[in-house]
Chains A and B, each alone.
Chain A
Amino acid sequence: MSFLDSLMLGLSMVANIESFLALGIGVAVGVIAGAIPGMSATMAVALTLPFTFALQPITGILLLLGVYKGGIFGGSIPAILIKTPGTPASSATVLDGYPLAEKGQAGKALGMALWASCTADLISNLALILFAGFLASFALNFGPPEFFTLMLFSLTIIAGVSGESLLRGALSAMLGLLLATVGLDLIYGTNRFTFGDANLMGGLNFIAVLIGLFAIPEIIAMVWNPKAFDGQKRAMGKSWVEFSEYRRCFKSIVRGSFIGVILGAIPGIGAAPSAFLSYSEARRTSPNKANFGKGELEGVAAAEAGNNGVAGATLIPLLALGIPGDVITAIIIGAFMIHGLQPGPMMFVINADIIYALFIGLIVSSVFLFFVGSVAIHGFKYVADIPRGVLFPSVLVLCIFGVFAVNNSIFDVGVMFAMGWVGYFMLRYRIPAAPFLIAFILGPLLEDNFRQAMLMSGSSPAILFRGPITWFFWTLTAITVFAIIRAGIRATRQHRALRTANQA
């Protein structure tokens, strides 16, 4: 079967009402589910799975993919409106999205999130279609040593999101790394800070920590000083993003998309680190550097491009190797199997028509995402007009339900409350929360991959320098650390010069 034949066959499989309906419904369900904190894309996909049993394979899988893509974008809606990331992937969106909403520019932020998401989604899908084979073999070169060096490099993102003080960012990261050690040790299965409690043995639930760290401190802060929040009504402001703004952020969006594609193709990293990396890269290179974290539109664009860039690319290891990159793709693989399809190199030969049908469906899904997303934004934007005296208690209640739903655990609600106090303490002492979060995600990956590498080599550190990939990341890390130190010293000098000048 030639390429054209497969393409035509694929087209005929997709070009029917059911497929388009499945995609549309999927994206809509995903956006709504993603917008509800705790529901997250993962849960939405898991809930949709049973419905696909009765459908045609291609229709069922398109439905799931629609939910997945919608969910990743949907997470940005509460992140911007109520400082509660709907999915872990949208935590980087909070950094600039929420300050924009505070300024009455929620509509602009949401619009930019949508445009960036759709652009990144399209780039990611094209990358999947054009480079699936190449990226899949690249992904297979990632063993524990490569992962370790990549994580080490990713930890330098912390410097980019530390705000005014690098040291406080470091402190925040330490706290995140330490809390991430709670649970059973991966290599020996022994207890670490679990106090014999079965709930702690599983480690602290990431979404509980995330929501506790972002949403709850805001509520506690209002309890501390209701007057500061009172009467202040956030209007939607100018409700839509302008094309000139999109053009201004275009470079960051494209860069974020490619970061997403590369990190997405490597199984086991996920969308959150990609969003943070894209964000910190955008900040590093932007002329508006100082405005990041205070409501910079480019920050929202970069973060959303970073996480949506992952969505298409995670299908690369899935389709080309049969390897799930994260929980969501694990569920999607389950759907393939239930329909008697075995993702992997042979699928490109045996079921080439299905592969092309999926590709076409994916491209269409980017378009659907744009329209469904626009409708959703217009529906959700009124949240910004709710007076805070009603909004904040509602957010608290929503968080309780949402966090419980993640793992059906009341204990997790307690974790969220406790992290809320940690977050409030950090807010008062002006310790940035983002480094904590990045460290909390990357810390366990760093440690586990380091120890796995050591097991592989019989404790010889030479394995950490095997192959060009490790060298590449070592070099990158060295350059970045050097740049951070240089920038740090320069900033301190300027700061001091400014202060002395002011005092004189």
Chain B
Amino acid sequence: MSFKKIAAACALTLGMTATGALAEYPERPINMIIPYGAGGATDISARAIAEALTAAAGTPMVMSNVTGAGGATGSVAVQNAKGDGYTMLFARVGSHTVNPAMKATLPYTLDDFRFVTVYEINPVVCAVTPASGINSMDDLIAKAKDGGVSYSSSGVGSLLQLAAVMVLREFGIEDPLKATVHIPQKGGGEAATAVLNGTVTFICTNSSALAGFVSNGQLKPLLVTTPDRLEGFDAPTAAELGKPALEQLVGWTGIAGPASLPDDIAAKWGEWMATAVKDEKFLAVMDKAGSVINLMSPDEAKAFIEGQYQTFRKLVDDLGMRIEG
């Protein structure tokens, strides 16, 4: 018997046991993969909801950070997992809309996952140092037209990179890739540091990453992408500046399984999440991070992610930003 046949036989037996187990899902701990490192926005969000989810599901949720390649390593681990609902992913804007839009070589597409929900949305804030002398988006754009403006990101294919490009383009810089310089950093913390120490001119990232610097007066916010003004950030909204299109520029966290995840398991997750997001401790943590809780059904989540992906993909294609190698 060839290895393939054995594998097929194994898969078949497994398939049968899996169907047998379905009736009583979940019968054992669920492994939740966080594709980013400890201390990051995804990690904090995931660990904040873990306890409430455990209570709702009645089974332990084991949090596993699988980091690397801008979230790709962890995402692939779930893509290749069995669709039995025991391996799920905390999907994030970077790993599931920006990366697929930008990287041709990514080993997965959106179709490899089944989203059960998107539960958290973070607005994006663009900021500069007070020492830069830039006081508004107009100042920044004027300076960008003169040349010599740069921005940092947590790496190629991160929300930070795309956010900066999208903002610049909305504000009338025709080719942001030529007019400005992108200086990628190793991570979100390093990206913020780069603005502080003057390596780059500005940064656009999730409000939670900048809240501390803004309240300490180390950074000056220029723009927020929420429909209403954001507490703690003394900056105009995108709509106030006449660029409502930028409201699509938000970070989010959701939960996904492999594409083969059956309907009944997805439905169970819907119930759990509905209970979990009401948890007060979770809400308190999210509130401090400046996140908005917005629980979406699987279909809403899919439409939302697809919509954001299309926007980003169009921008990437228009500017020739897609990475082919």
A and B in direct contact, judged by CB atoms within 8 A: yes
Chain A: interface residue count, which band? 35 or more
B107 x A196 contact (CB < 8 A): yes
Q: Mark A183-206, 1 if CB is under 8 A from B, else 0.
A: 111111111000011110111000
* Stretch in A18-26, A115-123, A328-336 with 4+ CB within 8 Å of B: A328-336
The residue from B44, B51, B192 contacting A334, defined by CB atoms under 8 A apart: B44
Name the B residues within 8 Å of A402 (CB-CB).
Answer: none
CB distance from A475 to the nearest CB of B (A): 23
CB distance from A494 to the nearest CB of B (A): 44
Name the A residues within 8 Å of B65 (CB-CB).
Answer: 46, 407-408
Main secondary structure of the interface of B (DSSP, over half): mixed
B72 x A201 contact (CB < 8 A): yes
Q: Mark A456-469, 1 if CB is under 8 A from B, else 0.
A: 10100000000000
Q: Does A7 contact B (CB under 8 A)?
A: no
* Stretch in A99-107, A238-246, A344-352, A369-377 with 4+ CB within 8 Å of B: A344-352
CB distance from B98 to the nearest CB of A (A): 11
Name the A residues within 8 Å of B281 (CB-CB).
Answer: 53
Q: Mark B91-108, 1 if CB is under 8 A from A, else 0.
A: 000000000001101011
A409 x B69 contact (CB < 8 A): no
Q: Does A262 contact B (CB under 8 A)?
A: no
CB distance from B286 to the nearest CB of A (A): 11
- Tell me the bound Cα distance from A454 to B199 in angstroms: 11
- Tell me the bound Cα distance from A407 to B67 in angstroms: 7
Name the B residues within 8 Å of A333 (CB-CB).
Answer: 39, 212
Name the B residues within 8 Å of A45 (CB-CB).
Answer: 38
Q: Mark B284-325, 1 if CB is under 8 A from A, else 0.
A: 010011000000000000000000000000000000000101
Name the A residues within 8 Å of B323 (CB-CB).
Answer: 188-190
Indicate whether A408 sits within 8 Å of B66 (C-beta atoms), given known contacts A199-B73, A321-B196.
Answer: yes
* Stretch in A136-144, A282-290, A305-313 with 4+ CB within 8 Å of B: A136-144
The residue from B43, B64, B102 contacting A189, defined by CB atoms under 8 A apart: B102
CB distance from A464 to the nearest CB of B (A): 14
Indicate whether A184 sits within 8 Å of B189 (C-beta atoms), given known contacts A46-B39, A345-B216.
Answer: no
Q: Does B190 contact A (CB under 8 A)?
A: yes
Name the A residues within 8 Å of B194 (CB-CB).
Answer: 143
Q: Which of A41-72 contact B (CB under 8 A)?
A: 42-43, 45-46, 49-50, 53
Q: Does A343 contact B (CB under 8 A)?
A: yes
Indicate whether A268 sits within 8 Å of B190 (C-beta atoms), given known contacts A140-B197, A322-B212.
Answer: yes
The residue from B66, B105, B157 contacting A407, defined by CB atoms under 8 A apart: B66
Q: Does B136 contact A (CB under 8 A)?
A: no
Q: Does B227 contact A (CB under 8 A)?
A: no
Q: Does A337 contact B (CB under 8 A)?
A: yes
Name the B residues within 8 Å of A201 (CB-CB).
Answer: 68-69, 72-73
B197 x A141 contact (CB < 8 A): yes
A143 x B189 contact (CB < 8 A): no
A50 x B196 contact (CB < 8 A): no
Q: Mark B180-210, 1 if CB is under 8 A from A, else 0.
A: 0111111001101110111100000000100
CB distance from A421 to the nearest CB of B (A): 23
Q: Does A181 contact B (CB under 8 A)?
A: no
A337 x B211 contact (CB < 8 A): yes
Q: Does A340 contact B (CB under 8 A)?
A: yes
A323 x B192 contact (CB < 8 A): yes
A327 x B39 contact (CB < 8 A): yes
Q: Which of B199-240 contact A (CB under 8 A)?
A: 199, 208, 211-213, 215-218
A202 x B67 contact (CB < 8 A): yes
Q: Does B37 contact A (CB under 8 A)?
A: yes
A196 x B105 contact (CB < 8 A): yes
B197 x A143 contact (CB < 8 A): yes
A184 x B196 contact (CB < 8 A): no
CB distance from B149 to the nearest CB of A (A): 12
Indicate whether A334 sits within 8 Å of B216 (C-beta atoms), given known contacts A186-B186, A188-B156, A408-B64.
Answer: no
Name the B residues within 8 Å of A343 (CB-CB).
Answer: 212
A346 x B217 contact (CB < 8 A): yes
Interface-centre pick from B44, B72, B183 (highest chain A CB count, 10 A): B183
Q: How many A-B residue pairs have CB under 8 A?
A: 163
- Tell me the bound Cα distance from A346 to B219 in angstroms: 12
Q: Which of A68-119 contact B (CB under 8 A)?
A: none
Indicate whether A330 sits within 8 Å of B189 (C-beta atoms), given known contacts A201-B68, A344-B212.
Answer: yes
- Tell me the bound Cα distance from A340 to B50 in angstroms: 20
- Tell me the bound Cα distance from A322 to B210 in angstroms: 10
The residue from B40, B103, B199 contacting A456, defined by CB atoms under 8 A apart: B199
Q: Which of A117-165 contact B (CB under 8 A)?
A: 140-144
The residue from B68, B192, B288 contacting A340, defined by CB atoms under 8 A apart: B288
- For A199, give the chain B residue with the smallest CB separation: B73
Q: Mark A343-365, 1 if CB is under 8 A from B, else 0.
A: 11111000000000000000000
Name the A residues within 8 Å of B186 (CB-CB).
Answer: 186, 268, 448
B156 x A189 contact (CB < 8 A): yes
A184 x B69 contact (CB < 8 A): yes
A184 x B156 contact (CB < 8 A): yes
- For B38, give the chain A residue with the smallest CB separation: A46
- Tell me the bound Cα distance from A499 to B35 in angstroms: 58
Q: Does B70 contact A (CB under 8 A)?
A: yes
A202 x B73 contact (CB < 8 A): yes
Name the B residues within 8 Å of A43 (CB-CB).
Answer: 38
Q: Does A6 contact B (CB under 8 A)?
A: no
Q: Does A267 contact B (CB under 8 A)?
A: yes
Name the B residues within 8 Å of A481 (CB-CB).
Answer: none
B199 x A338 contact (CB < 8 A): no
Indicate whether A327 sits within 8 Å of B68 (C-beta atoms), given known contacts A455-B181, A456-B199.
Answer: no
Q: Does B155 contact A (CB under 8 A)?
A: yes
Name the B residues within 8 Å of A480 (CB-CB).
Answer: none
Q: Does B82 contact A (CB under 8 A)?
A: no
CB distance from B86 to the nearest CB of A (A): 14
Name the A residues within 8 Å of B218 (CB-CB).
Answer: 321-322, 344-345
Name the A residues within 8 Å of B184 (CB-CB).
Answer: 186-187, 189, 452
Q: Mark B149-183, 1 if CB is under 8 A from A, else 0.
A: 01000011100000000000000000000000111
Q: Could you name 30 residue pairs across A and B whose Cβ atoms are closer than 8 Å? A: A46-B38, A49-B38, A141-B197, A143-B197, A144-B199, A183-B68, A184-B156, A186-B184, A186-B186, A188-B323, A189-B102, A191-B105, A191-B325, A199-B76, A202-B67, A203-B68, A322-B216, A323-B192, A330-B39, A337-B212, A338-B288, A340-B288, A342-B215, A344-B212, A345-B217, A347-B216, A407-B66, A408-B33, A452-B185, A455-B183
**Nearest 8 pairs of A and B residues by beta carbon:** A202-B68, A189-B156, A344-B216, A201-B69, A330-B39, A198-B76, A408-B64, A190-B325
Given contacts A330-B38, A408-B66, 11 further A-B contacts (CB under 8 A): A42-B38, A49-B38, A143-B198, A185-B156, A186-B156, A201-B72, A338-B285, A338-B288, A344-B215, A346-B215, A455-B183
